[in-house]
Amino acid sequence: MSPTQRLEAFLDRVPYVRFLGMRAELAGDEMTATLPFSPHLIGNVTLPALHGGVIGAFMEMTALAQLSVVQPSAKVHKTIDITIEYLRPGKAMTIYARADVRKIGRQIANVHVEAWQETRHKPVAALRGHFMLSGT
Amino acid sequence: MNMSPEALRETARHMVETVPQASALGFRLLSVEPSKGSILTPWREDLVGDPDTGVIAGGVITALLDHACGLAVTSMGAQHGFLATATLDLRIDYMRPAAPRADVTAQAHCYKLTRNIAFVRAHAFDSDPEDPIATAQAAFVLKRAEAG
């Protein structure tokens, strides 16, 4: 499978990706994940703001999607731990994320993710995580 | 500033069951008391993260733990006079996958409050609270009402 097919396969087979409404595209080896705004993603009605858990979950799925591209596997890789830093409130609009695979070992990958809305220079949140790689 | 248990429960129910994302995930309030909160998320086909096993997605657990931590802080706010909070950071350790098709419960405890920051721990489990699926540690910044 090509990298694009692997990414499409990952997005298609995980039901929770569809629940969020998440999409992702590859430009060469660089993937950008997109989460279009939808009312069910709101966590604070008065601001309004995206749910912090949604932003965290979106970045976690971005890391897993990126890993599905760089480390082909028939199974979904598993999250070991994640640390989420919230930098700005997520506005009621589309949010984007990119993952940077910092290291792939034999069993474990270290991935950093950054999410932004209007401009990449003002990130909304960041995630660092470790993931257990499934066999091919 | 103290809130009656009934008023606290009403605030908590609003937070757990009417916030759009919480309602979309089907969250249910199990219990709330000052500094503590517990929420259940029922298993659903569309929340699965691994179609091979039917296990609920890690992202759902992330949202559940985040929400339970927020509930624990809010329940403190009712006693200590701050109005709103924002999550600074949230760390989650995943110990094991949830059982296939299992509901997941999160319990959170705001164990320390300074003037500006709340520290919270939480854990998520399917059947046995002593056998967690995931644990979380979070810090929240507090926005206080102006004095006087």
CB A16 within 8 A of CB A76: no
Count, residues in chain B: 148
Q: What are the boundaries of each domain within chain A?
A: 3-132
At B1 the pLDDT is 55
Percent of chain A whose predicted confidence (pLDDT) is above 70: 99
Total beta-carbon pairs less than 8 A apart between chain A and chain B: 120
At A79 the pLDDT is 95
Is B21's CB within 8 Å of A84's CB? no
Which residues from A are below 8 Å from B when comparing CB atoms? 13-16, 18-20, 39-45, 50-54, 56-58, 60-61, 75-76, 78-86, 89
Residue B131 neighbours by CB under 8 Å, 6+ apart: B125
pLDDT, chain A, mean = 94
Q: Which option is the CATH number for B5-144: 3.10.129.10, 3.50.50.60, 3.20.20.140, 3.40.50.2300?
A: 3.10.129.10
* Nearest residue to B2 (alpha-carbon basis) of B67, B95, B54, B75: B75
At A90 the pLDDT is 96
Nearest beta carbon to residue A42 from set B21, B56, B64: B21
Write the ipTM: 0.92
Is A84's CB within 8 Å of B93's CB? no
At B111, is the secondary structure helix, strand, or coil? Answer: strand
Nearest beta carbon to residue A83 from set B22, B89, B97: B89
Is A18's CB within 8 Å of B57's CB? no
Q: Would you tell me how many other CB atoms lie within 10 Å of the CB of residue A121?
A: 6
Interface mutation vs chain B, best among A11, A13, A16, most B CBs within 10 Å = A16
Is A75's CB within 8 Å of B49's CB? no
The yes/no answer on whether domain A3-132 falls in CATH 3.10.129.10 is: yes
Rounded CA separation B53/A12 (Å): 16
Q: Which residue of A has its CA nearest to B46?
A: A15
> Per-residue pLDDT tens for B32-58?
999 999 999 999 999 999 888 999 999
Judge if pTM exceeds 0.90: yes
Q: Give the residues of chain B that fall short of pLDDT 50.
A: 147-148
Rounded CA separation B68/B71 (Å): 5
> Per-residue pLDDT tens for A40-96?
999 988 889 999 999 999 999 999 999 999 988 878 899 999 999 999 999 999 999
CB B96 within 8 A of CB B77: no
Percent of chain A whose predicted confidence (pLDDT) is above 90: 86
pLDDT classification of A131: cutoffs 50, 70, 90: very high
Count, residues in chain A: 136
Nearest beta carbon to residue B21 from set A51, A80, A89: A51
Interface mutation vs chain B, best among A82, A95, A124, A132, most B CBs within 10 Å = A82
